[in-house]
Structure 1
Amino acid sequence: RIVPSGCKLIGSGSAVPSLLISNDDLAKIVDTNDEWIATRTGIRNRRVVSGKDSLVGLAVEAATKALEMAEVDPEDVDLVLMCTSTPDDLFGAAPQIQKALGCTKNPLAYDITAACSGFVLGLVSAACHIRGGGFKNVLVIGADSLSRFVDWIDRGSCILFGDAAGALVVQACDIEDDGLFSFDVHSDGDGRRHLNASIKDSQTNGELSSHGSVLGDFPPKQASYSCIQMNGKEVFRFAVKSVPQSIESALQKAGLPASSIDWLLLHQANQRIIDSVATRLQFPPERVISNLANYGNTSAASIPLALDEAVRSGKVKPGHTIAASGFGAGLTWGSAIIRWR
């Protein structure tokens, strides 16, 4: 018998690659310098995958830490949600992570592709699965390796992105102990032109192409993806308008005033965006979580990475309420009002 329940956040974990690229390092590649980057973005360092690193490896490391904090065995995980736009495999990464973690009961595992909004949508999805009954322990992972899709000679984009993974364990609980108070999610496909990494065609196999006159347009061209294309000014305008509206909507749905929120946790895209949103919502700087300077924009990993660091440093404590909001390619954006433990 399926019994509806609430859900709570009980464990966090994160992982980053060992290779650190500083602003000074980038100044050796493109025409830039530490002051120029830091002033415009707030970023000073970023981590990127190298050597034998893999996105699945980072995700497994983050997930393992989250499960250990939550004191949940991998065999007791009922669902794995992998929020990523850059999987190691075209068909998704979640099943690989499930296998690597040792989830012996073969729980459902699937990817959610929503770029920088992915982790918030993953939390909402986890809550919907749990509240519908049938799921007790859900592992939500946000992980991306955008460095693999960056044009490293374009100083407008190569300075922004880094690689990382973060994870949370969401567990069923009594409805009165529910830790997801509300959410607000949106998409606007018209904004895709401002931020994308579109598919592009390449040449077909030469031997097959020789049959083109007989088979018409077959075979199709082999596909790959372009580097990230972004109109920074338009993305900034979108974020500073849409994110405060989304958070205010989520607060209204939760019946909570902004003054009841202990922490504002935004997708770590650009410090100017974070500061602008905080100002519009009248959040003082000391109540805003930010680790952007150390890692850059890590896409779906940025929110769980920042939350995990804040939890482990003692900044975020049990019972604290957090307004979390992600925004990015799609365009897609969403907010959730959550309580830690």
Structure 2
Amino acid sequence: MSIAITGTGSYIPPRIVTNQDFIQHEFLNSNGTPFTQPNPVIIDKFRAITGIKERRYAPDELNTSDMGFLAAEKAIADAAIDKNTIDHIIFAHNFGDIAQGQNQGDTVPSLATRVKHHLQIQNANCVAYDILFGCPGWVQGVIQAKAFIDAGIAKTCLVIGAETLSRIVDPFDRDSMIYADGAGAAIVQAHNGGGNILAHASATHATKEAFYLFFGNSYNKKEDSAQYIKMHGRKIYEFALTHVPQAMKTCLDQSGSDIGAVKKIFIHQANAKMDEAIVKRFYALYDKEPPSGVMPMSIGELGNSSVATIPTLFDRVRKGKMKNQQVQKGDVVIFASVGAGMNINAITYQI
């Protein structure tokens, strides 16, 4: 008996926000002073570093749990299971439901409970709860699902990752251009039909790194006391390049798979330049160069939707929706993420 991802689904918001949509923004330094460079220069440099040309924002009428529900419906249909056989619903997010025009998160009831309600699952023994683990939350949810199945507590889990980061960004912070919205979901099951989680690894670095991502005031000192997502980008970049490649190697080595067997790496879509450097360092640990096409990328068009980046990316590649990217039964792939905490995790998975 293996533990496999038997179905996937995603919700990609229809609203496209391009870099040019930020051309009139007033970007400020953290001390409230204006940048000396004009916005076209700021935006060009931003694209060169992050790879982001555009991102997706949720429709006004949808919250994070709504998008999670839409992705979950697709994953359930893809797995061809009865929704009432789901034992656990694990919803990874960081800020709860945030209504359009608000920046206060709502997490009561949990977003997983809201999804169960929307799905109209009648089985009271289907346990629904949320997980807060930064951007690696969806990967950690899959790891938890595996643990429940290994322990005999569950046979079928629904793992969702969704976020509406566009509603908690400071418009005066140039980092606001990074963030996006979206949702991805997967069915994880004890299964006899192929597919298996071969190994996983997780770590939390919470000494000097704990507050590399945090809630802070607007850079516009005239704004009210509302809090927005903030980050120390350079510190995160250096942290990720130091720790993520080794975590990936640990996970791959524990799986017993050879580096040459890895067909795809589904890495959190945080920053294209950073992701490329992480994968290059990972392969360097084996004295190799990354093969062409080993790392599918969606950040250029979809931006950074936190917990949703990996499940949406995997769903699109798995279903042949990305040009020149596909996976086949038997392929060994790696999921890897880094984010607030600072948390790191990885999974070695055989399709």
Single out whichever of 251-260 and 328-337 deviates more from structure 2: 251-260
Equivalent position amino acid for 1:96 in 2: R
Pick one of 3, 7, 10 that aligns with 2:6: 10
Q: Per the alignment, in what secondary structure is the counterpart of residue 3 of structure 2?
A: strand
1:128 aligned onto 2:124: no
TM-score by length of 2: 0.84
- C-alpha distance in 2 between matches for 1:285 and 1:51: 39
Indicate the residue corresponding to 1:48 in structure 2. Answer: 57
Q: Structure 2 matches for 1:253-292, cutoff 5 A?
A: 253-280=254-281, 281=283, 282-292=289-299
Identify which of 166, 184, 188 aligns with 1:147: 166
Larger radius of gyration: 1
CA root-mean-square deviation:
1.9
Residues 9 and 339, structure 1, Cα contact 8 Å, conserved in 2: no
Output the CA distance in 2 between the equivalents of 1:10 and 1:298. Answer: 23
State the alpha-carbon separation in 2 of the partners of residues 145 and 317 from structure 1: 32
Counterparts of 2:58 and 2:39, CA distance in 1: 22
From 181, 186, 197, the equivalent of 1:163 is 181
Amino acid at match of 2:268: H
Match of 1:245 in 2: 246
Question: Map of 1:58-69 to 2, 5 A cutoff?
Answer: 58-69=67-78
SS of residue paired to 2:200:
strand
With over 3 angstroms needed to count, the CA separation of the structure-2 counterparts of 1:198 and 1:103, relative to structure 1, is farther
CA contact (8 A) 2:215 2:227 kept: yes
Displacement of 1:325: 0.4
Letter aligned with residue 47 of structure 2: A
Verify: 1:195 aligned to 2:205, yes or no.
Answer: no
- Contact 1:278/1:285, CA 8 A, preserved across alignment: no
How far apart, CA to CA, are the structure 2 residues paired with 1:198 and 1:90? Answer: 20
Correspondent of 1:179 among 187, 196, 212: 196
| Structure 2: distance between partners of 1:148 and 1:25 | 16
Give the Cα–Cα distance (whole angstroms) in 2 for the partners of residues 97 and 17 of structure 1: 18
Task: Report SS of the residue matched to 2:21.
Answer: helix
Q: Does structure 2 conserve the Cα–Cα contact (< 8 Å) formed by 1:6 and 1:130?
A: no
- Which of 290, 297, 303 is the aligned partner of 2:304? 297
Confirm or deny that 1:25 pairs with 2:21.
Answer: yes
Contact 1:278 1:284 in 2 (8 A): no
Counterpart of 1:208?
Answer: none
Equivalenced residues, count:
311
Higher mean Cα deviation, 285-294 or 160-169?
285-294
Shift, 1:90, TM fit: 2.4
Shift of 1:86: 1.7
Contact 2:211 2:340 in 1 (8 A): no
| Structure 1 counterpart of 2:316, from 305, 309, 312 | 309
Distance 2:276 2:185 in 1: 25
Whether the 8 Å CA contact 1:323–1:335 is kept in 2: the answer is yes
Q: Aligned partners of 1:177 and 1:319: how far apart in 2?
A: 8
Q: Contact 1:264 / 1:283 at 8 angstroms: preserved in 2?
A: no
Q: Note the residue ranges of structure 1 that are not aligned, 5 or more in a row.
A: 201-223
TM-score (ref. length: structure 1): 0.87
Shift of 1:198: 5.9
Tell me which amino acid in the other structure corresponds to 1:184: A
Instruction: Name the CA distance, whole Å, in 2 between partners of 1:32 and 1:51.
Output: 27
Deviation of 1:319 after TM superposition, in Å, equals 2.2
Are 1:113 and 2:144 counterparts? no
Partner Cα separation in structure 2 for residue 51 and residue 195 of structure 1? 26
Unmatched 5+ residue regions in structure 2? 27-37, 98-105, 219-224, 284-288
The answer as to whether partners of 1:11 and 1:168 remain within 8 angstroms in 2 is yes
Q: Distance in 2 between the 1:71 and 1:146 partners?
A: 31
The counterpart of 1:100, out of the listed 118, 122, 146, is: 118
Closer/same/farther in 2, CA of residues 150 and 199 from structure 1, 3 Å limit? closer
